[in-house]
Amino acid sequence: MVQTKKIALFIVVVFVLYTIINSPERAADLVQVGFEGISSAAQGVGEFMTELVN
């Protein structure tokens, strides 16, 4: 099981590096989308906590 996780992580790292090298613009877009998703999720949690306290 541990060996499978290592192989999967290696494949993900290789894919990320391949994407960054071949298409830096697309990689930047993907990072931006990821951060926007994290930001909206944090905002949703903040709104939930605010409503929970009220």
| pLDDT per position as a tens digit, 1-54 | 789 999 999 999 998 888 889 988 888 888 899 999 999 999 999 999 999 998
- The C-alpha atoms of residue 37 and residue 43 are separated, in whole angstroms, by 10
Give pLDDT, residue 30. 84
What pLDDT does 40 receive? 96
Contact 46, 39 (CB under 8 A): no
- The CA dihedral of 44, 26, 9, 18, to the nearest 10 degrees, is -170
The predicted pLDDT at position 51 comes to 92
Q: How many Å apart are CA 52 and CA 54, to the nearest integer?
A: 6
